[in-house]
Amino acid sequence: MSLIADSLDRMIVNTILVAVDGSPASVRAARAAVGFAHDHVAKVIVLAFSDGEEGLGSKAAIEHDDARDSAYLVGEYALKARIPCEMDLLYSAQPAKEIIAEAERRHCDLIWLPASTGTGQDERLLHPGVATEVLTRTRVPVMLFRSRASA
């Protein structure tokens, strides 16, 4: 475990891509990413994922609102930490492909994802299959963050 921490401390990180989906686990992971960015003087790019569109009444609309709100919350964390932050809200049923494409397009040094257990109400679009697909298909280093609350 300390070997991983030592490698992260020596890693040069200028841009971190953080994915959120409105779930509490993704917001906790993103908040940790902002702290890491602060320590490493890095920029944060937040991708908020929703498979629904804006509107009233539907479950998809609620998930859209949650994803948007979580992106703004992470933006507030970044502002307080004085970290440059960009935010995008994406509608996608395949977030892994979007994460990989954006990380490569924006020349990110690190992809930061919540580590989901795959159970419970905490999970939305960023389920364990997304993390697995990102890990196996990208050349960019990936940090899977698991908070105590999601353990």
Instruction: Band the pLDDT of 1: cuts 50, 70, 90.
Output: very low
Q: Which tokens hold the place of 61?
A: 């609309």
pLDDT, residue 5, reads 54
Instruction: Band the pLDDT of 121: cuts 50, 70, 90.
Output: very low
Q: What percent of the chain is predicted at pLDDT more than 90? A: 44
pLDDT, residue 151, reads 46
Query: Dihedral sign, CA of 1, 143, 28, 126?
Result: negative
Between CA 66 and CA 41 the distance in angstroms is: 28
What are the DSSP E strand ranges found in the chain?
15-20, 43-50, 85-91, 110-114, 142-145
Phi and psi of 18, rounded to 5°?
A: -120, 130
Exposed, middle or buried: residue 60 (CB in 10 Å: 0-12, 13-18, 19+)?
Answer: middle
Length of the chain in terms of residues written:
151
Question: pTM for this one?
Answer: 0.82
Q: Is the pLDDT of residue 108 over 90?
A: yes
Are 61 and 53 a contacting pair, CB within 8 Å?
yes
Read off the pLDDT of residues 16-69 as tens digits, 9 standing for 90 and up: 999 998 888 888 999 999 999 999 889 999 999 887 555 545 666 667 788 888
Residue 82: how many other CB atoms lie within 10 Å: 9
pLDDT, residue 150, reads 46
